[in-house]
Every structure is written in structure tokens, then in C-alpha cells.
Amino acid sequence: MSPKLQVFLLGFLMLAASPAIRAATPPQKDYLSSVEADKIRDAETVNERIKLFLTFADDRLKKFQYELDHPSSNRHGDMLNSLLNGYVGCVDDAADLIQLGLEKQDNIRLGVDLMAARTKEFLVVLEKLSNDGAEREIYKDNLDDAIEGTRDAMNDAEKAKKKVAPPPVRRKN
């Protein structure tokens, strides 16, 4: 085979293989940083993943409050909306993990309890922002979505508390 033909075939194979390589890698959530996505991927149990998603949601909510108190000079509205969207995405993913854990009959009691407790805290903050938050017209739609998503996640967690397998009982001999 001539060297030109070898180079041509090598180039063709590289181009043909690139879509297959991209399809094999799982898509990263657009609201997670690469470090956060790595932490989720490295978590060994569903409980750990739920805890991480709720931690990331809490982080987004705190950043949102900070951005309200200390507005950036550029893209302030975009920043507020993207933080709320990221918050909703994290809470939704945690709720999805609870449903997945129930289907697989995993021991997700800690994750369910954490979800129930944290969503109640989140809802208090979101409702306070809805009632007397600054610049509400900028982020009102996303805030309404966040409140609805948090309520849904809280209700799902309460239902999951009833469905989750009870803890093992030690028997005395």
C-alpha cells in the first residue's frame, strides 16, 4: 500500500470513529461543574449521590441569595436565572435517584430522610424570596418552577418514606 493511501485510510478511520467515541461518553448535566459531575460519578451508593445533589442544590440557593445581595455588574439576571435552574436540576435529580432506589429496592432510607428535611428548609427560603425578594420580576418564572419542583420532591420523599424498606431488626437468641 502506498503511504498516501495509508494516511488517507488512517484519517478516514479517525473521522469515522469520533462520533462513536462521543456517543459512548455519558452527557454531563449542564448545571454541574466537571468537579461536581466527577463527585456524583465517584459516589458509590445512591444515598451518597442524593446527599451530593442536595448539597449542590443548597450551594446554588446560597449563591442565588448572595447574588441578590451583591449584584454583579454584568449579566445579573442571567446569573440569577441560571442559579435557580441549577437548583431545580439538582433537586429533580435527587428525586429521580429516590425513585430509582425504590425501584431497585436499595437501602435509601438516609437519602429519603435527608430529602424530606432539606426540601422543607429550601421551601422556606424560596417562599420568602417569592414574597419579599428583591428584583422578583427578573426571576419570577424560574422561582415559581423552583417552588413547584421543591414541593414535588418533598411530596415524593414523604411517599417514599412509606415505601422504603424498613431497617433490619436484630433478633435476640
pLDDT, one tens digit per residue, over 30-76 is 788 899 999 999 999 999 999 999 999 999 999 999 999 988 888 88
Where residue 117 falls (left for φ over 0; alpha for ψ -120 to 50; beta otherwise) is alpha
Nearest C-alpha neighbor of 157 from the set 54, 41, 29: 54
Percent of the chain with pLDDT over 70: 80
User: Per-residue DSSP letters for 89-102?
Assistant: HHHHHHHHHHHHHH
